[in-house]
Structure 1
């Protein structure tokens, strides 16, 4: 009977660090700190469609590293919708993207 008590006590002690470590991981914030986030960089793109009324532009773009997006064609809101009047569909541009109000957004659009 003594062996059973000793075994149970040893098992409880052995499991304590594992339970402690698991508990401490649950309380950690696993989000990427802002300091380690990549700064926005210009991305080569082609304008596929301009919707000035909605303030959006559809771009065929390369990878957007700071947003973790692969190359694709997608519609984006534009931070300065009035700037869309300076562009036309089919034009090659350089775009800078960031997240505004939780949405990937074109924050700067320039002619190449």
Structure 2
């Protein structure tokens, strides 16, 4: 009886996990607040909500931006929508909108 139970658990978990894992890999916009802008370094410090596709909890940290032009019209305190992804092994802001 236990082997059947274990096999059922493994099979059920595998089927349930695959769609969830795939869905979590798609980058989604995250609400954030601009705390600091460093155009010379191409970075922005954001206080952000959970980044589901990367498994990150809410926090405040500096991120490189994919395109430094995204920083041009920002100021500290702006509420933004940021999309994050893993680019060359670094968590990067790939899209940033007011």
Q: TM-score range by the shorter chain?
A: 0.7 to 0.9
CA distance in 2, matches of 1:83, 1:43: 16
**Larger Cα Rg: Structure 1 or Structure 2?**
1
Instruction: State TM-score, norm by structure 1.
Output: 0.66
Give 1:59's match in structure 2, choosing from 1, 24, 46. 46
Flag as ranges the 4+ runs of structure 1 deviating above 6 A.
Answer: none
**Structure 1 unpaired stretches of 5+:** 1-31
| Structure of greater relative contact order (alpha carbons < 8 Å, 6+ residues apart) | 2
Gaps of 5+ in 2: 1-17
The number of equivalent residue pairs is 78
Q: Report the TM-score when normalising by structure 2.
A: 0.75
2:70 maps to 1:83: yes
After superposition, residues 21-36 of structure 1 pair within 5 angstroms as 36=22
- Equivalent in the alignment of 2:3: none
1:38 CA displacement: 2.1
- 1:1-112 aligned at under 5 Å gives the runs 36=22, 37-111=24-98
- 1:82 Cα deviation after fit: 1.7
